[in-house]
């Protein structure tokens, strides 16, 4: 079509002779006229051809425009397609990258394999199913076992009857217990009556326990020396020195010093339990003193023997100490008699009176002094200090620093040879 249109466009147009028709004279019979008329017809034909050509040109222009439009559209489509292709390529590359990454991730693949193997194993494992089946069969068997049910019923009846028997037995036992309690109470009353009618010495003799030195003395022991006593009322025994001569004998020594072999610079615990050796120098122990004097009227006899052989003494008619919870506090009562003269109970100075004072040691300050008397370098020993003392027998065995063993009768430790503190119940 395009070629036919182009052919028409460039086809030559015939020459038109118009001069004679418009200006010359007219002769219908002349050859010239005939020619002119033929020319006019040719002109009409040409005009028609030109008209047709014009139409064709317009059509061709439209067609060309359409072709141009089609071309633009195709170009746009191509551009769009290229964009899509590019996007698709990118997506494809991304997917490829992901696939590569997944392929590289062996861990995930291994996990998947492991899980697959486990699933496979579980599918193959029929043991569990078999167990369940076995249990189900057992349950069914048990539920259908009438014999077992009968056994349970029989047992239940036995339990019921046993419970009734037990109740009856309980009632019987309750009565028996009441009888025994009544008998026991009667016996206890008889025992108490028996005990009240006997002396302490008789009871102790029966149990073969000696509570103190007086007990030995009453049993006929008149020799001073070391004896074993049980002040705590049980089988536990301690060794003590018994003075069987002084003031009628039967004294238990709670303190004794005949040399400096034993240090009295001791802790609270050591004074509590006692230390040293009763045949030489020792402290019997605060717990033992408490037991020896608890609930019994007892006397305290203090003696100091000087190096020149002179012995001074002081006797207090009332003596006891409380237990550890009360810091072994001292109770001392008169009358006080002797050659030492009272320097513990009524000294004439309230700072030196010891009755009512707690026991103190270098590691336990219970005194009325702002510091700790027991820890002073000139003292270093346990005692019932006030603020601090006029009489003190537990100093370190260093006569040079031993001031006021028993003020004012014995003013210096330099002269001291021996000391003793003796206890005896009335």
Please report the sign of the dihedral spanned by the C-alpha atoms of residue 260, residue 262, residue 267, residue 268.
negative
What is d(CA 314, CA 389) in angstroms, rounded to the nearest whole number? 16
Angle at CA 403, nearest 5°, toward 398 and 405? 90
Whether 331 and 356 have beta carbons less than 8 Å apart is answered as yes
State how beta strands 251-257 and 330-338 pair: unpaired
Applying CB under 5 A, the span of 44-52, 134-142, 244-252, 360-368 interacting with Ca ion comes to: 360-368
Q: Does 369 participate in binding Ca ion (rule CB under 5 A)? A: yes
Question: What's the closest the beta carbon of residue 370 comes to Ca ion, in angstroms?
Answer: 6
Between 312 and 369, name the residue whose CB sits nearer to Ca ion. 369
Between 239 and 365, name the residue whose CB sits nearer to Ca ion. 365
Question: What's the closest the beta carbon of residue 367 comes to Ca ion, in angstroms?
Answer: 4
Question: What's the closest the beta carbon of residue 327 comes to Ca ion, in angstroms?
Answer: 12
Question: What's the closest the beta carbon of residue 363 comes to Ca ion, in angstroms?
Answer: 13
Between 303 and 360, name the residue whose CB sits nearer to Ca ion. 360
Question: What's the closest the beta carbon of residue 369 comes to Ca ion, in angstroms?
Answer: 5
Question: What's the closest the beta carbon of residue 329 comes to Ca ion, in angstroms?
Answer: 15
- Would you tell me how many other CB atoms lie within 10 Å of the CB of residue 69? 10
Applying CB under 5 A, the span of 111-119, 180-188, 231-239, 368-376 interacting with Ca ion comes to: 368-376
Whether 412 and 405 have beta carbons less than 8 Å apart is answered as yes
Between 60 and 357, name the residue whose CB sits nearer to Ca ion. 357
Angle at CA 375, nearest 5°, toward 374 and 381? 45
Q: Does 363 participate in binding Ca ion (rule CB under 5 A)? A: no
What is d(CA 52, CA 27) in angstroms, rounded to the nearest whole number? 33
Whether 265 and 381 have beta carbons less than 8 Å apart is answered as yes
Nearby residues of 82 by Cβ (< 8 Å), 6 or more positions away? none
Q: Does 53 participate in binding Ca ion (rule CB under 5 A)? A: no
Between 232 and 369, name the residue whose CB sits nearer to Ca ion. 369
Site for Ca ion in 276-335 (CB under 5 A): none
Applying CB under 5 A, the span of 79-87, 89-97, 293-301, 359-367 interacting with Ca ion comes to: 359-367
What is d(CA 411, CA 409) in angstroms, rounded to the nearest whole number? 6
Tell me the number of residues near Ca ion by CB under 5 A: 3
Question: Per the omega criterion (within 30 degrees of 0), is the bond before 187 cis?
Answer: no
Applying CB under 5 A, the span of 12-20, 59-67, 307-315, 357-365 interacting with Ca ion comes to: 357-365
Residue 274, SS3 per DSSP: coil
Question: What's the closest the beta carbon of residue 383 comes to Ca ion, in angstroms?
Answer: 13
Applying CB under 5 A, the span of 28-36, 194-202, 362-370, 395-403 interacting with Ca ion comes to: 362-370
What is d(CA 227, CA 279) in angstroms, rounded to the nearest whole number? 10
Q: Does 365 participate in binding Ca ion (rule CB under 5 A)? A: yes
Q: Does 367 participate in binding Ca ion (rule CB under 5 A)? A: yes
Residue 344, SS3 per DSSP: coil
Q: Which residues bind Ca ion (CB under 5 A)?
A: 365, 367, 369
């Amino acid at each position: 079509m395009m070629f036919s249109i182009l052919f028409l466009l460039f086809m030559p147009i015939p020459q038109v002779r118009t001069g004679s028709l418009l200006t010359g004279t007219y002769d219908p019979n002349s050859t010239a006229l005939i020619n002119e008329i033929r020319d006019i017809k040719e002109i009409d034909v040409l005009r028609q051809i030109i008209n047709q050509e014009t139409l064709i040109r317009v059509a061709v222009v439209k067609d060309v425009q359409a072709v141009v439009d089609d071309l633009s559209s195709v170009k746009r489509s191509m551009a769009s397609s290229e964009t899509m292709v590019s996007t698709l390529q990118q997506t494809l590359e991304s997917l490829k990258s992901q696939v590569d990454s997944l392929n590289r991730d062996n861990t995930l693949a291994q996990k998947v394999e492991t899980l697959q193997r486990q699933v496979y194993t579980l599918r193959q494992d029929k043991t569990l199913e078999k167990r369940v089946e076995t249990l189900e069969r057992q349950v069914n068997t048990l539920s259908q076992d009438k014999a077992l049910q009968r056994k349970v019923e029989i047992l239940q009846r036995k339990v019921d009857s046993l419970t009734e028997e037990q109740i009856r037995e309980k009632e019987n036992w309750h009565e028996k217990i009441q009888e025994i309690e009544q008998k026991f109470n009667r016996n206890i009353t008889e025992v108490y009556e028996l005990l009240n009618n006997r002396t302490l010495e008789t009871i102790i003799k029966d149990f073969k326990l000696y509570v103190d030195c007086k007990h030995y003395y009453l049993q006929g022991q008149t020799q001073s020396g070391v004896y074993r006593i049980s002040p705590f009322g049980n089988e536990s025994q301690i060794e003590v020195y018994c003075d069987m001569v002084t003031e009628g004998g039967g004294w238990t020594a709670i303190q004794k010093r005949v040399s400096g072999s034993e240090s009295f610079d001791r802790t609270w615990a050591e004074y509590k339990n006692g230390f040293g050796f009763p045949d030489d120098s020792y402290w019997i122990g605060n717990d033992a003193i408490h037991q020896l004097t608890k609930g019994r009227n007892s006397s305290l006899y203090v003696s100091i023997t000087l190096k020149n052989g002179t012995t001074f003494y002081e006797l207090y008619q009332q003596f006891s100490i409380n237990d550890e919870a009360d810091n072994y506090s001292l109770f001392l009562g008169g009358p006080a008699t002797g050659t030492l003269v009272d320097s513990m109970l009524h000294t004439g100075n309230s700072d030196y009176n010891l009755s009512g004072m707690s026991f103190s040691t270098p590691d336990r300050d219970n005194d009325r002094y702002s510091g700790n008397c027991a820890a002073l370098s000139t003292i270093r020993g346990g005692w019932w200090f006030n603020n601090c003392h006029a009489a003190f027998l537990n100093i370190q065995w260093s006569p040079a620093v031993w001031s006021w063993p028993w003020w004012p009768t014995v003013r210096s430790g330099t002269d001291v040879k021996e000391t003793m503190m003796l206890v005896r119940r009335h």
